[in-house]
Amino acid sequence: MQRDGHIRLLPLHVANKIAAGEVVERPASVLKELLENALDAGATRIDVAVVAGGRNLVSVRDNGCGMTRDDALLSLERQATSKIRDVDDIEHIDTLGFRGEAIPSIAAVSRFTLVTRRADDESGTRLVVNAGTLAEVADCGAPPGTCVEVRDLFCNVPARRKFLRAFATEEGHIRSVFTVHALAHPDIGFSLTLDGRETYRFAPGATLEERIRDLFGAPFAESLVPVANPPGGKGSSVSIHGYIERPDSSALLRHDQFTFVNGRPSTAPVISYAIREACPRARAEARPATILFIDLPPEQVDVNVHPAKREVRFRRPADVREALIGAISAALTPPSTLNTTNTPAAPITSPLSNAPSTPQSPTVPKSLAPTPPPFAVPFSNPPLPIQQSLPTPTPPQATPTTLWRWFTVLAETATGYLLLETDRGIVTLNPRAARERIAFERLLARRTAISQPLLLPETVHLPPSDSARIRTFLAELESMGFAIEEFGRDVWKLDAVPDLAAGLAVQDLLAAIAADIAEAGAKRGGTRWRDELVARSLARSYAGANVKLTREGASKLVEELAATSQPYICPRGKPIMIFTANSELSRKFDN
Question: For the domain that residue 58 is a member of, what is the CATH number?
Answer: 3.30.565.10
Least confident of 285-289, 439-443, 449-453: 285-289
In a domain, 37, yes or no: yes
Look at residue 426 in the predicted model and tell me its pLDDT.
93
143-152, 181-190, 259-268, 273-282: the lowest-pLDDT one = 273-282
42 and 171 together in one domain: yes
3-state class of 252 per DSSP? coil
Q: pLDDT: is 398 or 537 the higher one?
A: 398
Assess if residue 140 is contained within a domain. Answer: yes
Both 254 and 182 in a single domain? no
Mean pLDDT confidence for 355-371: 35
Looking at the fold, whether 186 and 224 belong to one and the same domain comes out as: no
- For residues 340 and 563, the answer to whether their CB atoms sit within 8 Å is yes
The yes-or-no verdict on residue 77 having pLDDT over 60 is yes
pTM of structure: 0.64
C-alpha to C-alpha distance for 128 and 106, rounded to whole angstroms: 12
Helix/strand/coil for 511 = helix
Looking at the structure, do residues 262 and 304 belong to the same domain, yes or no?
yes
CB 59 within 8 A of CB 149: yes
Which tops the pLDDT comparison, 25 or 170?
170
8 A C-beta contact, residue 148 and residue 128: no
Q: Calculate mean pLDDT across residues 26-39.
A: 94
Lowest mean pLDDT among 408-422, 513-527, 535-549: 535-549
Find the CATH number of the domain harbouring 489.
3.30.1370.100
DSSP calls for 362-429? SS--TTTS----TTPPPP-SSPPPGGG----PPPPPPB--SSSS-EEEEEE-TTS-EEEEESSEEEEE
pLDDT band at 518; cut points 50, 70, 90: confident
Query: What pLDDT, on the 0 to 100 scale, is given for residue 63?
Result: 96
pLDDT mean over 563-579 = 84
The pLDDT of residue 340 is above 60: no
In a domain, 360, yes or no: no
- The mean pLDDT value for 187-196 works out to 96
Cα dihedral 257, 261, 264, 266, rounded to 10, equals -50
Residue 524, pLDDT score: 55
Instruction: Tell me: pLDDT of 88 over 80.
Output: no
Least confident of 232-246, 360-374, 567-581: 360-374
Tell me, yes or no, whether 90 lies in a domain: yes
The answer on pLDDT for 258 being more than 90 is: yes
pLDDT at 494 over 90: yes
pLDDT tops 50 at residue 278: yes
**Burial status of residue 358 (CB atoms within 10 A of its CB: 0-12, 13-18, 19 or more):** exposed
Specify the CATH number for the domain of residue 395.
Answer: 3.30.1540.20
18 shares its domain with 78? yes
Q: Are 293 and 320 in contact (CB under 8 A)?
A: no
- Angle made by CA atoms 257, 225, 214, in degrees to the nearest 5: 65
Supply the pLDDT for residue 176: 92
Same domain as 126, residue 37: yes
Q: What's the pLDDT band for 549 if we cut at 50, 70, 90?
A: confident
Tell me, yes or no, whether 359 lies in a domain. no
Most confident of 14-18, 200-204, 480-484, 505-509: 200-204
208 pLDDT band, cuts 50/70/90, is very high
Beta-carbon contacts of residue 150 (< 8 Å; ≥ 6 apart): 30, 34, 57, 58, 59, 106, 110, 111, 112
Q: Which of 115-129, 292-306, 311-325, 451-465 has the highest mean pLDDT?
A: 115-129
Select the more confidently predicted residue: 585 or 279: 585
Is a pLDDT exceeding 50 seen at residue 343?
no
pLDDT at 348 (0 to 100): 28
Answer yes or no: do 100 and 194 share one domain.
yes
pLDDT of residue 219: 78
Pick from 202, 229, 249: which residue ends a domain?
202
Please provide the DSSP assignment of 290-355 as one string.
EEEEEE--GGGEE--SSTTS-B-EESSHHHHHHHHHHHHHHHTS-SS----SSS-B-----TT--P
pLDDT at site 129: 96
Q: What's the mean pLDDT in 412-423?
A: 91
419 and 554 share a domain? yes
Q: Which residue has the higher pLDDT, 292 or 530?
A: 292
Across 47-56, 141-150, 395-404, 551-560, least confident range: 395-404
Residue 171 sits in the same domain as residue 118 = yes
Within this chain, do residues 481 and 580 fall inside the same structural domain, yes or no? no
Domain region containing 90: 12-202
CA separation for the pair 7, 266 (Å, rounded):
37
The verdict on residue 370 lying in a domain is no
**pLDDT level of residue 171 (50, 70, 90 thresholds):** very high
Strand, helix or coil at 66? coil
467 domain-assigned: yes
Q: Are residues 469 and 401 in the same domain?
A: no
- 436 in any annotated domain: no
Q: How far is CA 9 from CA 2, 104, 351, 558, in A?
A: 17, 19, 59, 74
Number of domains in the chain: 4
- Structure confidence at residue 12 as a pLDDT band (50, 70, 90): low
Indicate the residue among 314, 331, 348 that finishes a domain: 331
Question: Does 27 share its domain with 103?
Answer: yes
Percent of the chain with pLDDT over 90: 36
The per-residue pLDDT of the chain, averaged, comes to: 77
Assign 565 a pLDDT band (cuts: 50, 70, 90): confident
Task: Answer whether the bond into residue 382 is a cis peptide, omega within 30°.
Answer: yes
User: Is residue 474 predicted with pLDDT exceeding 90?
Assistant: no
- Give pLDDT, residue 465: 85
Contacts of 1 (CB under 8 A, 6+ apart): none
pLDDT at residue 357 tops 80: no
